[in-house]
């Protein structure tokens, strides 16, 4: 699982500043889901070969009455979801009654907590930390989030016990099954779809004890093929339906996306494509996962409403045009069987292997059709290509002056390769290397 770090502290101690620094290492991965999360913001970061999630929790102001109010609900929920808590205090402002209340709560919680003293730039860190030794939360760690000082060693320290991405991938691959994550906003019909998929006659669901890491990973077999369904709605554990917002977990969703080979994104056709849907899809794209889109609750919709949704999809989902789209009813089972064909196609494309020979010949053909431009009177040369990875497929192109290759030409390559290699259902990435 991706390690999850929650940032808590009163307003203005520098949580957002630290959040931006921790999640900045990979662009565009910072996303929040307004409406679902109140004040929490989720982002993904990476240190070397270790990815992690960060939750920023707005602020806990000192004005509230008791600890329950001070530790605003969303902060409590973030702590609950996290593996590690960074409790931020302001090294310039010194000790504050709100800090003491938060410290009191964290001392009693079982979560590993690090007391982080921020804004120690331009002041004596020892003096700044002096106030905070009495908290009983271990040694305070001085940082200056705005300048990045102390941040790297802090993050290195907390991530050390966690496995690297490669180690996690290896553990997943050992299960030798196709991993499908069913994700989507609350109430779009995920649990209904999961039930539908697992309830099929041809499906044999295995006892999970000892076979998977978490009860949301459900191994099953269908027509001789092994699958693991990653069930973010958690139906297997749900005894009764609680509040929609409660059962939806962004952390679980983001972890599921990372662990999946193929993501089935469920959208409620009756609601249309919402901002939150787009945010979630953004995460899928950033993770490079294969993708199938299921427009659910297609049953009983009027002709006009269907047309409206189709039109909206054309506009809003153009950025995921590589994904197959299915109009289904999880409730009645219509269209659910057909999802498998697209899931398999996406998986096969995401996992495909091409020889250097084949990719290089393809590159030569594509370049012969349309030459890269010249820079400083020298034509950019693209010499050969090889595959650098899968899920998503990565094509590494070697040449000279590739740094100057215009975006439009990169798009041309991407389009041609996608078409000729018949890639469907997965994004493909290009990397360019200059040299010999
Ligand atoms: P949040 O309310 O806890 O999210 O705090 P912000 O990240 O919004 O920061 C509050 C203020 O503190 C902003 O004006 C930041 O520029 C400032 N700040 C954050 N980190 C540092 C730091 O390391 N040093 C200094 N001097 N100021 C900082
Ligand atoms: P989740 O929160 O995404 O797991 O959503 P649920 O599976 O719990 O479904 C939310 C509600 O939508 C329930 O009342 C379902 O019965 C209903 N629902 C799910 N799929 C469909 C569908 O295909 N058609 C219709 N009409 N309702 C559906």
Superfamily of domain 4-165: P-loop containing nucleotide triphosphate hydrolases (3.40.50.300)
SS3 at position 93:
coil
* Ligand nearest the Cα atom of residue 244: 2
| CATH class, range 356-434 | alpha beta
CA distance 284 to 325: 15
Q: Nearest ligand to the C-alpha of residue 184?
A: 2
Q: Is residue 224 annotated as involved in ligand binding?
A: no
**Which residues make beta-bridge pairs with 430?**
395
Centre of ligand 1 to C-alpha 271, Å, is 39
- 153-210 tens-digit pLDDT: 999 999 999 999 889 888 888 878 999 999 998 899 999 999 999 988 888 888 665 4
Residue 146: half-sphere exposure toward Cβ, Cα within 13 Å: 9
Ligand 2 pocket: which of 182, 192, 266, 299 to mutate (most atoms within 8 A of CB): 192
**Residue range 386-396: mean pLDDT, rounded:** 96
Distance, CA 342 to ligand 2 centroid (Å)?
22
pLDDT of residue 298: 96
CB distance 27 to 37 below 8 Å: no
Bridge partners, residue 182, by sequence:
231, 264
pLDDT band per the 50, 70, 90 thresholds, residue 68: very low
Q: What tens digit of pLDDT does each residue of 258-302 get?
A: 999 999 999 999 999 998 899 899 889 989 999 999 999 999 899
Which ligand lies nearest the alpha carbon of 8? 1
8 forms beta bridges with 87
CA atoms within 13 A on the CB side of 152: 6
pLDDT band, very low/low/confident/very high, at 61 (cuts 50, 70, 90)? low
Q: For the stretch 365-375, what's the b/e string if a residue is b when 16 or more beta carbons lie within 10 angstroms of its beta carbon? A: ebbeeeebeee
In the chain, CATH 3.30.300.20 covers 356-434
User: SS3 sequence, 262-291?
Assistant: EEEEEEECCCCCCHHHHHHHHHHHHHCCEE
Q: Specify the pLDDT at position 42.
A: 84
C-alpha to C-alpha distance for 141 and 117, rounded to whole angstroms = 6
Any ligand 2 atom below 6 A from CB of 6: no
Considering only CA atoms, which residue is closest to atom 19 of ligand 2?
Answer: 189
The residue whose CA is least distant from atom 27 of ligand 1 is 119
Alpha-carbon distance values, 182 to 195, 213, 260, 264, 292 (Å): 11, 17, 9, 5, 10
Residues 398-424 pLDDT 10s: 999 899 999 999 999 999 999 999 999
pLDDT in tens, 18-48: 998 998 644 433 444 444 444 677 888 889 8
C-alpha of residue 148 to centroid of ligand 1, in Å: 12
Cα(132)–Cα(137) distance, integer angstroms = 9
The average pLDDT across 246-266 equals 87
Ligand nearest to the CA of 7: 1
pLDDT at 139 over 80: yes
37 lines ligand 2 (CB under 6 A): no
Task: Compute the distance between CA of residue 121 and CA of residue 119 in angstroms, rounded to an integer.
Answer: 5
Locate 166 and state its tokens: 């490669």
Q: What is the C-alpha to C-alpha distance for residues 28 and 30, in angstroms, rounded to an integer?
A: 5
Q: What is the pTM of this model?
A: 0.84
User: In this prediction, what percent of the chain has a pLDDT beyond 90?
Assistant: 60
Please state, for a pLDDT cut of 70, what percent of the chain lies above it.
87
Instruction: State if residue 329 touches ligand 2 by the CB under 6 angstroms criterion.
Output: yes
Q: Any residues with Cβ below 6 Å from ligand 1, and which?
A: 9, 11-17, 59, 118-119, 121, 144-147
Of 331, 325, 301, 436, give the one whose Cα is nearest residue 381.
436
Structural contact between residues 196 and 336, judged by C-beta atoms closer than 8 angstroms: yes
Find the 256 Cα to ligand 2 centroid distance in Å.
20
- Ligand 2 pocket member 191 (CB < 6 A): yes
Report the C-alpha gap between 229 and 214 in whole angstroms: 11
Identify whether 386 is preceded by a cis peptide bond (ω within 30 of 0). no
Report pLDDT digits (tens) over 300-313. 899 999 999 999 99
CA 99 to centroid of ligand 1, rounded, Å: 16
Cβ contacts of 267 within 8 Å, gap of 6 or more: 184, 188, 273, 277, 293, 294, 295, 296
Cα 64 from Cα 343, distance rounded (Å): 50
Determine the average pLDDT of the residues in 362-374: 95
In this predicted model, which residue has the larger pLDDT, 176 or 240?
Answer: 176
- Residue whose CA lies nearest to ligand 1 atom number 17: 14
Question: CB of 187 closer than 6 A to ligand 2?
Answer: yes
The pick from 7, 16, 17 for probing ligand 1's pocket by mutation, whose C-beta has the most ligand atoms within 8 angstroms, reads 17
* pLDDT above 80 for 334: yes
d(CA 73, CA 406): 48
**Residue 232 annotated in ligand binding:** yes
CATH class for domain 175-351?
alpha beta
Known binder of ligand: residue 165?
A: no
Taking a C-beta distance cutoff of 8 angstroms, is the pair 331, 297 a contact?
yes
Residue 73 near residue 36 (C-beta atoms within 8 A): no
Q: Is the CB of 189 under 6 A from ligand 2?
A: yes
Of the candidates 285, 355, 249, which has an alpha carbon nearest to the alpha carbon of residue 4? Answer: 249
Weakest mean pLDDT among 84-98, 210-224, 351-365, 399-413: 210-224
Question: Distance from the CA of 190 to the center of ligand 2, in angstroms?
Answer: 7
The rounded mean pLDDT for the chain is 87
Residue nearest to atom 11 of ligand 1 (CA): 12
On whether 410 is known to bind a ligand per the annotation, the reply is no
User: Sorting pLDDT into bands at 50, 70 and 90, what band is 69?
Assistant: low
pLDDT at residue number 28: 35
Ligand nearest to the CA of 145: 1
| In the chain, ranges of CATH 3.40.50.300 domains | 4-165, 175-351
Task: Give the model's pLDDT for residue 56.
Answer: 86
Contact between residue 84 and residue 4 where contact means Cβ atoms under 8 Å apart:
yes
pLDDT (0 to 100) of residue 159: 96
Q: What is the mean pLDDT of residues 392-403?
A: 94
Answer whether 330 contacts ligand 2 (Cβ < 6 A): yes
Cβ neighbours of residue 245 closer than 8 Å, sequence gap 6 or more:
36, 186
What long-range pairs does 42-46 form, CB within 8 A, spacing at least 24? 42/250, 42/251, 42/254, 43/19, 44/2, 44/254, 44/283, 44/286
d(CA 187, CA 274): 13
Q: How far is the CA of 331 from the centre of ligand 2 (A)?
A: 7
Among 164, 155, 89, which residue's Cα sits nearest to residue 128? 89
Q: Is the CB of 395 under 6 A from ligand 2?
A: no
Q: Is the Cβ–Cβ distance between 98 and 61 less than 8 Å?
A: yes
| Among 328, 250, 288, residue whose Cα is nearest residue 35 | 250
pLDDT at 37: 43
| Count of CB atoms situated within 10 Å of the CB of 258 | 24
């Amino acid at each position: 699982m991706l390690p999850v770090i929650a940032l808590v502290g009163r307003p203005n101690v520098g949580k957002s500043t630290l959040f931006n620094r921790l999640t900045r290492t990979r662009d565009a991965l910072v996303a929040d889901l307004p409406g679902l999360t109140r004040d929490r913001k989720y982002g993904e970061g990476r240190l070397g070969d270790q990815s992690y999630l960060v939750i920023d929790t707005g602020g806990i102001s000192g004005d509230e009455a008791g600890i329950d109010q001070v530790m605003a609900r969303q902060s409590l929920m973030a702590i609950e979801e996290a593996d590690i808590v960074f409790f931020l205090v302001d090294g310039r402002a010194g000790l504050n009654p709100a800090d003491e209340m938060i410290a009191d709560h964290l001392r009693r919680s079982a979560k590993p907590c690090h007391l982080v003293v921020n804004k120690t730039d331009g002041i004596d860190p020892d003096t700044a930390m002096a106030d905070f030794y009495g908290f009983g939360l271990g040694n305070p760690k001085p940082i200056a989030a705005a300048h990045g000082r102390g941040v790297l060693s802090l993050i290195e320290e907390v991530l050390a016990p966690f496995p690297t991405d490669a180690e996690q991938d290896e553990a997943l691959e050992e299960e030798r099954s196709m991993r499908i994550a069913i994700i989507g906003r609350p109430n779009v019909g995920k649990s209904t779809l999961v039930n539908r998929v697992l309830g099929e006659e041809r499906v044999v669901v295995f006892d999970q004890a000892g076979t998977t890491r978490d009860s949301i990973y459900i191994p099953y077999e269908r027509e001789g093929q092994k699958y693991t369904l990653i069930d973010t709605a958690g139906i297997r554990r749900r005894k009764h339906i609680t509040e929609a917002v409660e059962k939806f977990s962004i952390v679980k969703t983001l972890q599921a996306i990372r662990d999946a080979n193929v993501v089935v994104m469920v959208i409620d056709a009756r609601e249309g494509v919402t901002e939150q849907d787009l945010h979630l899809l953004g995460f899928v794209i950033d993770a490079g996962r294969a993708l199938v889109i299921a427009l659910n609750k297609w049953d009983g919709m009027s002709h006009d409403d269907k047309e409206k949704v189709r039109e909206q999809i054309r506009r809003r989902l153009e950025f995921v045009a590589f994904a197959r789209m299915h109009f289904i009813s999880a409730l009645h089972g219509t269209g659910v069987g057909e999802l498998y064909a697209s899931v398999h196609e996406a998986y096969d494309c995401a996992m495909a292997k091409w020889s250097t020979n084949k990719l290089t010949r393809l590159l030569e053909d594509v370049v012969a059709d349309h030459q890269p431009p010249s820079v400083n009177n020298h034509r950019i040369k693209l010499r050969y290509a090889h595959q650098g990875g899968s899920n998503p497929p990565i094509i590494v192109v070697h040449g000279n002056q590739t740094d100057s290759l215009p975006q439009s030409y990169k798009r041309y390559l991407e389009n041609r390769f996608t078409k000729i290699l018949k890639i469907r259902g997965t994004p493909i990435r290009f990397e360019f290397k200059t040299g010999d």
